[in-house]
Structure 1
Amino acid sequence: MALSLVLRSQKIIGLSRVVPPLIYPSCNKFYQVREVHRKSVYKTEEAKKVRFYILNRFVDFLKNYDQILEKNFPTTMKTYKVFMEGIKDFITEMREYFKIVRMLNSSAGSYTKLLRREIELYYQMPKDMFKVAPTLIFSTLPFAFYVLLPLIYAFPKQLLTPHFWTLEQRAKFKTEYLHDRLVHNKPVFRHLQLQLNFIKHNKDSCIYETWSKVLGQLGSGVQPTVEDILSCKDLFMDEPYHLLYLSRNHILHLVKIHNIHPGWFRRTRLADRALILIEMDKAIMREGGVHNLPSEALKTACYIRGLNPTNVDEKYLVKWLSQWIKISNEINKENLSLLLHCPILLGYNEPSNWSLIYPKK
């Protein structure tokens, strides 16, 4: 009777749980034991070890995540890594390029303060920036990189610059680009031949005889001497071979040989290219001459000037580049056209060039 009254009174005052300590001591002890059991299981050393083990395994998984992706998607990861490294190299060279531009545009700016490598960078970087800019801008758009990555893998030559290529791709694409330049040697040579009749009737007979000999040697597979070429430099100071007198088609092929975009102001840009080539040659001599060039720098210098350096003896590359610089030393603003024709005058009959244009099948 008393117990029922107690229960009713607690129900009236709104108590939802009736665990009177004096009436149910054993029930209260049960709850206390269960709470202690809960806490002890969670805070035991074994539980801590399990948690730390899981956490450490997760951290290791994150550390090795690149390796896991590389194992499961090797081609994609390789392309991604090369692309990211390329961005770092590209940004580094772009900063260096703008530093060079600021220096040249300053009141005390001069090419004589630049190293050979810096002049080569100044020569090449504008084309690289123009080429890769659309790709880099597109890659910053949301989720665009996932679309861009397969395109980069499929068309690296068209979308990227050497900064983003593998070593194999660099060798392959540079050879292909040089081939595209060398195929214009023959049309330019034909244009030089077309002016022989004009020279015969309008120039000194001695110059005509020497120039006729030079072109005859080129046509028969013999390399003319530097002395004979220089003795005819007056032909490039006026009609018919000065830049202002060259035909439109002649200029177009010359632009292609020097890897210049065939847009507006072709003659002006050809003249600028000749001036930069002269500054490169001067920088080589300031740094100790052709013989002191590192092997890779020597090959790059020959490549820029229109000689295929692949599988060519290094001593021969030194000899060829020395001949180029010997002519370059005699060039001024009046006969820049002569230097622009040196890829033909010095490289038309080179075996490495012919093997690239006409590969054996």
Structure 2
Amino acid sequence: MIRFRQLWADGKKCRRIKADMAKHNVKFHQLSYRDMEHLRQFRRDITKCFFLGVISVPPFANYLVFLLMYLFPRQLLVRHFWTPKQQIDFLNIYHDIRKKSHPEILSYLEKVSPLISEKGLRWHMTELCTKIQRGTHPAIPDILALRKCFSKPPLGMSQLHASQIKALSRAMLLTTHLPSFLLRRRLKTHTTVIHQLDKALAKLGINQLTEQEVKSACYLRGLNSTHIADERCRTWLAEWLQISCSLKEAELSLLLHNVVLLSTNYIGTRR
């Protein structure tokens, strides 16, 4: 019952935020960080609830739904109904899923690097991929030096190959069972939301976040924060924000790839 109340309270808060947005003519990106994050997370939660509601409509289907929820809690239950142990276990499972796409994403960057027009940028891209593949955590300047590459072919958001779009979707824990143009649009929307969250978080300050908020923010951006100390998470999140807040909208493909570039070799992420 407590978990239902928590979900209900989240729904009421979401409705209040939406009402305030309508009343004061406020857009999503103008909200505070916590309100933006609450709306983003609740949308994901309510999608699962909607799916359960649909499959429980037929007569006596509710018995089947309860059985399915018991057998597949990770896929069908929202986070409110996970036990503390399940939360850690499920987050580890999800991260293992997205981590499988990392080599493919890095391989694609290596593959297209000869197509980068500027010689200096080609060299930087090759060096960055080599460092990451050898287990080195890249420095912020190494990543930002390549921002120009990700605003135009072959690495601009609109020019990425369908295979890379699917790999990046897996890295972001988004479904890949959609046509390429829809996957691309969804990735762009998802990355834009994260970029907006980053700007709001930079304005708020990482030091204002609780330990759980920090871990959740890191996990959303590609870092498996379940087994990393709070201080390390804050350091990593500060690095992410420094990169994100330096990027323009046309360079968001770099932010998307940063999910892999910045998280792969961070201290404590290799298990």
Asked if these proteins are the same fold (TM beyond 0.5), I'd say yes
Instruction: State percent identity of aligned pairs.
Output: 26
Please give the secondary structure, in 1, of the residue aligned with 2:152: coil
2: CA distance between counterparts of 1:212 and 1:282?
30
- Indicate the residue corresponding to 1:314 in structure 2: 230
The residue that corresponds to 1:297 in the other structure is 213
Alignment partners' CA distance in 2, 1:106 and 1:335: 33
SS at match of 1:334: helix
Q: How far did 1:149 drift?
A: 3.4
Q: Does 1:153 align with 2:66?
A: no
Q: Which residue of 1 aligns with 2:263?
A: 347
Structure 1 residue 154, shift from structure 2 partner: 2.4
Kindly report which structure 2 residues correspond to 1:1-361, keeping only aligned pairs within 5 A, or say none: 84-104=1-21, 108-111=25-28, 113-136=30-53, 145-199=62-116, 202-203=117-118, 205-262=119-176, 263-264=178-179, 265-287=182-204, 289-355=205-271
Change (3 A) 1:111 1:146: closer
**Residues of 2 paired with 1:102 and 1:230: CA distance?**
39
Q: Distance in 2 between matches of 1:137 and 1:221?
A: 46
Q: Indicate if the aligned counterparts of 1:240 and 1:246 stay in contact, CA closer than 8 A.
A: yes
Normalised to the residue count of structure 1, the TM-score between the two structures is 0.68
Change (3 A) 1:242 1:295: same
User: 1:15: which partner in 2?
Assistant: none
2-side partners of 1:266 and 1:174: how far apart? Answer: 23
How has the CA–CA distance of structure 1 residues 268 and 325 changed in structure 2, closer, same or farther, with 3 Å as cutoff? same
After superposition, the CA RMSD in angstroms is 2.3
**Are the equivalent residues in 1 in contact too, given 2:131–2:138 (CA < 8 A)?**
yes
Asked if 2 retains the 8 angstrom alpha-carbon contact of 1:139 and 1:148, the reply is yes
Please give the per-residue CA displacement for 1:88-129, whole angstroms capped at 9, x wherever unaligned.
322322333344445556672134552323222222222322
Structure 2 spans left out of the alignment, 5+ residues: none
Question: Aligned AA for 1:253?
Answer: A
Q: Distance between the aligned counterparts of 1:169 and 1:206, measured in 2?
A: 47
Helix, strand or coil at the partner of 2:135 = coil
**What displacement does 1:130 show?**
2.0
Distance 1:106 1:235 in 2: 41
Task: Provide the secondary structure at the position in 2 that maps to 1:195.
Answer: helix
1:194 alignment partner, SS class: helix
Cα contact 2:165–2:183 (8 A) shared by 1? yes
Q: CA offset at residue 160 of structure 1?
A: 1.1
Q: TM-score, normalised by structure 2?
A: 0.89
SS in 1 for 2:91: helix
* CA separation of 1:278 and 1:187: change in aligned 2, threshold 3 A: same
- Residues in 1 aligned to 2:69 and 2:3: alpha-carbon distance in whole angstroms: 12
Query: Is this contact kept in 2: 1:302–1:321, CA < 8 A?
Result: yes
CA distance in 1, matches of 2:29, 2:268: 33
Going from structure 1 to structure 2, the CA distance change for 1:214 and 1:343 (only over 3 Å counts) comes to: same
CA distance in 2, matches of 1:344, 1:227: 16
Larger Rg: 1
Q: Quick one: distance in 2 between partners of 1:138 and 1:195?
A: 44
Contact kept? 2:114, 2:122, Cα under 8 Å? no
Please state how far the C-alpha of 1:270 moved relative to its aligned partner.
1.3
**Whole-angstrom distance in 2 between the partners of 1:92 and 1:103:** 17
Shift of 1:211: 2.2
After TM superposition, give the deviation of residue 346 of structure 1 in Å.
0.5
Question: 1:235-291 CA distances to partner (integer Å, 9 max, x unpaired)?
Answer: 01101110111110000011111122232412222111112112211222222x223
Query: Number of aligned pairs?
Result: 268
Structure 1 unaligned runs (5+)?
Answer: 1-83, 356-361
Q: Say whether the 8 Å CA contact 2:98–2:172 is kept in structure 1.
A: yes
Q: What letter matches 2:52 in structure 1?
A: T
